[in-house]
Structure 1
Amino acid sequence: MKKISYCFLSVVITLLAFTATAQDHQYSQFFNSPVYLNPALNGQFEGDLRMNMIYRNQWSTLPGALTYITASIDYNIPKFGGGVGLMFTRSNEGTAYYLRNNLAGIYSYSVGSDDFVLSFGLQAGIGNRTIDRGKLVFGDQIDPRMGYIPGSQSSADLGQLNNKFYFDAGAGINLVVGNLMAGGALQHINRPDQSFTGATAKLPMRATGHLSYRFDLNKYDNYDEDEKSFVIPSVVMYKQAASTSVSAGMQYKRRSVNAGLWYRSGGQTGPSAFVVSFIFDLFINKSGGEKLRFGLSHDAPSSKLNYSNTSGSTEGSLGYETTLPSRSATPKFQGSRRCYDFY
């Protein structure tokens, strides 16, 4: 019975992996992977150079890995209020080692004044996906009494192609006005064909919208910005093909500590979840604009795949910003608040 249960869960994870071919993964700590959220956030930070890395382990107790990692580096060019960047994303889904990799270059540019900043971002790169067909389990490999038979061969036609490269493009826009930030992005604008078999399989576009507002809890106190406390409610909306999701919640930000509570709806295709996040900023050289950020969050599913069966999902993130000694250019928008104030 245990073997049959294990086999059933393995098949479920494999099916989830194939279902996910039409969906991109989402990070609960969206604010700690800003370039993945929206290419218009590229180059939008205080220092000169920023590096971010985030890792997600989803439903860790189920058989078959569901892990995701994104690493990015972007360079702030003050002269035009934008920057250039590079982002790498890798996902591993299911017992058949379904891997997706994407390497993209990003360019962003900003217009505005000391009252508002409007940023635009363009993203272009190469995507790749592979699968180990030998790890797939078919019905003729399952015995009704014993379950999956190790080493058995299926009569199913597995085909030959297991590796696919394709061009991928995206774009985004972001607006900051006072204490309000709103933005949106489209990924897979060219809808690349990611088929293994030769039959057309278009990757659906992913639309993202996000909105944040910053409440200053010490508005009338004569404190430095770093000494104040803030409450920052945010909403992030995703739509890709038939899959929709909304994350809503808020962060409490006080000096170098940031705590958040969120609820993410799963729509019709996935489980909803409650999310708790903690972010710590370690200022290595405050006067030089150098800092290290560490983030940790945990999702607890609230429907369908429940917590007792999945143990939830956990994310860890690292971010590093620094100001280069050779910096000499004056920022294009000196009086404006930028997106980094919201996380």
Structure 2
Amino acid sequence: MKNIKLTLLAITILSTCSLLRAQDPHFSQYYSNPLYLNPAFAGSNICPRASLNYRNQYPVLDVFQTYSASYDQYVDGLNGGIGVLVMRDEAGGGALSTTEASLIYSYHLKVSRKFTLLAGFQGTFRQRAINWDNLTFPDQIDPYYGFVLETAQRPPGSDIATNLDVSAGILGFTEKFYFGASFHHLTQPDEAFFQDGKLPLKISGQAGFTIPLGRQRIHNELQNYLIPNVVYQRQGTFDQMTLSTAFSRGPISGGLGFRTSTANPDAVVVLLGYAPTEGAWKIGYSYDITISSAANSLGGAHEVSLGYNFPCRVRKKRNEAIKCPKF
């Protein structure tokens, strides 16, 4: 079974290396990984914030896993937020891997008493690696003895491709709504192993509302909120739209999402969140129920997020944090 998985992966790698129509990894809990979604989110929480995210795509195959870690905070002296983001994506148990490390700055402009505009800039060191020894190919299969033949496929001249990348984003918000756009891979770096090829520009748009439900409570953590939001992304010839609604009451949150592309619907996403201490730990879990032509035979996708909001220092001026889903 493992050899079959790696064979499928080898075919995929050779296809993407030749045509380079690759897509960035995506997270269903995108607002639990805000710096990955849009660099303008850096410092939007005002208080220091750390996030960890893990995604296992198609667990039946056990070959696609993505890890992410980030930290950001608002800095008075810089009139904006700073952030650090590290991401690693593995296919085939590391046979094909992508590692990124980013530094982010987001400028915060108080346009009016109720409206704030953020502009984010991101510099990324990106490394893509292929472990040729972990791959098997169809021409290695003997009808009787299995994977025993030599392959005619030749490894690339280099098994590591490194480059520098630049991204940017913009974000506007009030207490009740937010909207933004991000532009990743502005430099369209060349990351092909076999021939020249550029990573396509990824354009993303985000918007959402925070709707209080019922009577306003004295203690904000007891207030009920409904938070509908939408994210649209396009990279090369691929596009994706996610429509979701989150519900939050005190430490408990939950939500449903629907992800689709122009070609076909992809998945229904079920999300659950729990924050045992307001302003401190936040834990989220989501499951993607695949509804595309692949059905759910590959196990959909599991995703776990862990966030921590550090205590704020006494501030000279007051800024509002963006009210996003608490996943």
TM-score, length basis structure 2: 0.91
2:292 match: 303
Runs of at least 4 residues of structure 1 off by over 6 A? none
Specify the code of the residue in structure 1 equivalent to 2:245.
M
1:245 match: 240
In the aligned structure 2, how far is the partner of 1:67 from the partner of 1:39? 23
Q: Residues 214-273 of structure 1, C-alpha deviation per residue, up to 9 Å, x if partnerless?
A: 11112x4453322210111111111100111111010011011110101111444x8601
CA deviation after TM superposition for structure 1 residue 58, in Å: 0.5
CA deviation after TM superposition for structure 1 residue 15, in Å: 3.7
Report if the CA contact (8 A) 1:80-1:110 is conserved.
no
Specify the code of the residue in structure 1 equivalent to 2:182.
A
- Does residue 164 (structure 1) correspond to residue 150 (structure 2)? The answer is no
In the aligned structure 2, how far is the partner of 1:121 from the partner of 1:111? 11
1:186 match: 183
Q: Residues 79-113 of structure 1, C-alpha deviation per residue, up to 9 Å, x if partnerless?
A: 56521111100000136710100001000111123
In the aligned structure 1, how far is the partner of 2:21 from the partner of 2:311? 39
Report if the CA contact (8 A) 1:50-1:322 is conserved.
yes
Instruction: Describe how 1:262-281 pairs up with structure 2 within 5 A.
Output: 262-268=257-263, 272-281=266-275
In the aligned structure 1, how far is the partner of 2:315 from the partner of 2:81? 13
Against the structure 1 CA distance between its residues 342 and 140, is the aligned structure 2 distance closer, same or farther, given a 3 Å change threshold? Answer: closer
Report if the CA contact (8 A) 1:104-1:123 is conserved.
yes
In the aligned structure 1, how far is the partner of 2:50 from the partner of 2:151? 46
Deviates more, 1:6-15 or 1:259-268: 6-15
Aligned Cα RMSD in Å?
A: 2.2
CA deviation after TM superposition for structure 1 residue 340, in Å: 3.7
In the aligned structure 2, how far is the partner of 1:253 from the partner of 1:321? 17
Specify the code of the residue in structure 1 equivalent to 2:247.
Y
In the aligned structure 2, how far is the partner of 1:96 from the partner of 1:329? 45
In the aligned structure 2, how far is the partner of 1:329 from the partner of 1:224? 22
Q: Which runs of 5+ in 2 are unaligned?
A: none
1:105 match: 103
3-state DSSP class of the match of 2:44?
coil
Report if the CA contact (8 A) 1:173-1:184 is conserved.
yes
Report if the CA contact (8 A) 1:55-1:67 is conserved.
yes
Against the structure 1 CA distance between its residues 163 and 222, is the aligned structure 2 distance closer, same or farther, given a 3 Å change threshold? Answer: closer
TM-score, length basis structure 1: 0.87
